Amino acid sequence: MILSGKQIITGAFALTSLLSVSCTQNGTTASSEKDSLGNQSADSVKSVTTVASAQNLNYTPNELGKVMVLEYHLIGYPEDRWRRTPENFRKDLQMLYDNDFYPVSVLDIAYGNLNVPAGKTPFAITLDDSSAGQFRYIEKNGQLVIDPECALGIMEDFKKKYKDFPVTATFYVLPAIKPTLRLFAQPEYKKQKLEWLEKNGYEIGSHNWYHSMLSKLSDAGVQEHLSMFVKEIREFLPNYEVKTMALPLGMHAKNRALEVSGEFEGTKYNHQAVMLVGSVSSVSPYSKDFNRLAIQRVQAGEHTENPETFMKSQIKHQTRFVSDGDPKTISAPEKLRDQLKPGLEKKYQVKWIKEKENTVAQN
């Protein structure tokens, strides 16, 4: 049996002594810094305009704890290493909800733009390869509807059932692969599906032109494949800005700077975050070890290193990210002081929790 996060997060802390309620956020952690490759960061994330309401009053904030970016591929039958059944995908969402996780986008994690209710742990969903099981249309009573058994249908249903759990995801699609993986495998609905995702708050990310390993391409080849992805997506969404990429098979380009930006025949790309292949939890975006151009992911499934395994370990060892509910502050145990990314004290109010005294030291 999986216990609720409300039952197993220990070390109660008085919420009212932590929160400094505000209605605006001045910016993100990335607005003026350079990334690990020396490229100027783009301020692409909108400022938070509301502070998430507190729900779980019995918790110890740890915003230097670990977060999970979940990695899915096929949704269908039977369950195997790269396939999750619809029932198990629902089970995953229910497990996350029951254990105080809260959905955010990969860009929210990349930039530390985390407007997460107090006591909750942020996580993001990614789906690679754009198979039909991720987004399928079917006819029902003469109308075209989203298949309730595909990943998108399951997420939309879950969102309606739990209003306090705004599920979202990034679909890392393939525009020029074999038909069974080409933009969700229903060619007559390619444009309609991409438009629906954009309109309804889902992200369309690059998995490159046709899933080629960047490590085997020349510098010119890397730029061609990543630029051609943008060109093909813009045939359906002319003004769409592709902001993140998932590395096919997790293989880096020889020149990693080209994973971020480049150009081919007048088409440019600029990725603000790059996803690796799991399974490893990511460190906090506020950690000195976090790199938005190499974000770790946890592969979903029944194998050993799956989301449930990582969740249980993080609860047991108290290493999971737990929000203080205020996007303008970073709160964490004082013992983790040396883990904070340098410079964040200038952008956030930092609150260190002294474990024994159960008090807060502020920077």
Q: How far apart (Å, rounded) are the C-alpha atoms in residues 267 and 257?
A: 17
Residue 289 lies in a domain: yes
Q: Which element (helix H / strand E) includes 252?
A: none
Q: How far apart (Å, rounded) are the C-alpha atoms in residues 158 and 168?
A: 11
First to last CA, the chain: 41
Q: How far apart (Å, rounded) are the C-alpha atoms in residues 255 and 290?
A: 20
Q: What is the pLDDT of residue 355?
A: 75
Residue 238 lies in a domain: yes
DSSP string, 117-134: -TT-EEEEEEEES--TTT
Q: How far apart (Å, rounded) are the C-alpha atoms in residues 218 and 111?
A: 30
Structure tokens that stand for 288 in this block: 């000195």
Q: What are phi and psi of 264, to 5 degrees?
A: -145, 120
Which residues make Cβ contacts (< 8 Å) with residue 155, sequence separation at least 6? 93, 125, 167, 168, 169
Q: Count CB atoms within 10 A of the CB of residue 273.
A: 26
**Alpha helices of the chain — where are they, by DSSP H?**
5-8, 86-98, 106-110, 151-161, 190-199, 219-236, 307-316
Helix axes 219-236, 190-199, angle to 10 degrees: 90
User: Which residues make beta-bridge pairs with 269?
Assistant: 262
**Counting Cβ atoms within 10 Å, is residue 134 exposed (0-12), middle (13-18) or buried (19+)?**
buried
Q: What are phi and psi of 212, to 5 degrees?
A: -75, 145
The parent domain of residue 167 ranges over 36-45+65-313
Q: DSSP state, 254?
A: S
Structure tokens that stand for 333 in this block: 């145990």
Residue 136 lies in a domain: yes
CA torsion, ordered 224, 227, 228, 232, to nearest 10 deg: 180
Q: How far apart (Å, rounded) are the C-alpha atoms in residues 183 and 190?
A: 6
Q: How far apart (Å, rounded) are the C-alpha atoms in residues 262 and 284?
A: 28
Q: How far apart (Å, rounded) are the C-alpha atoms in residues 330 and 65?
A: 11
Residue 121 lies in a domain: yes
According to DSSP, the β-strands at 349-354 and 359-362 are antiparallel
Integer CA distances (angstroms), 94 to 89, 90, 158, 159, in order: 9, 6, 9, 11
Please list the pLDDT of the chain residue by residue as tens digits (363 residues).
333 433 333 333 333 333 333 333 333 333 333 443 333 343 333 323 233 344 445 789 999 999 999 999 999 999 999 999 999 999 999 999 999 999 999 999 999 999 999 999 999 999 999 999 999 999 999 999 999 999 999 999 999 999 999 999 999 999 999 999 999 999 999 999 999 999 999 999 999 999 999 999 999 999 999 999 999 999 999 999 999 999 999 999 999 999 999 999 999 999 999 999 978 999 999 999 999 999 999 999 999 999 999 999 999 999 999 999 999 999 999 999 999 999 999 999 999 999 764 555 556
Total of domains in the chain: 1
Residue 140 lies in a domain: yes
On the CB side of 125, how many CA atoms lie within 13 Å of its CA?
Answer: 23
Q: What are phi and psi of 332, to 5 degrees?
A: -160, 160
Q: What are phi and psi of 230, to 5 degrees?
A: -60, -45
Q: What is the pLDDT of residue 359?
A: 54
Residue 330 lies in a domain: no
Q: How far apart (Å, rounded) are the C-alpha atoms in residues 70 and 233?
A: 24
Residue 14 lies in a domain: no
Q: What is the pLDDT of residue 3?
A: 38
Q: How far apart (Å, rounded) are the C-alpha atoms in residues 294 and 255?
A: 14
Residue 132 lies in a domain: yes
Q: What are phi and psi of 127, to 5 degrees?
A: -130, 120
Q: How far apart (Å, rounded) are the C-alpha atoms in residues 153 and 133?
A: 10
On the CB side of 185, how many CA atoms lie within 13 Å of its CA?
Answer: 14
- CATH number of residue 246's parent domain: 3.20.20.370
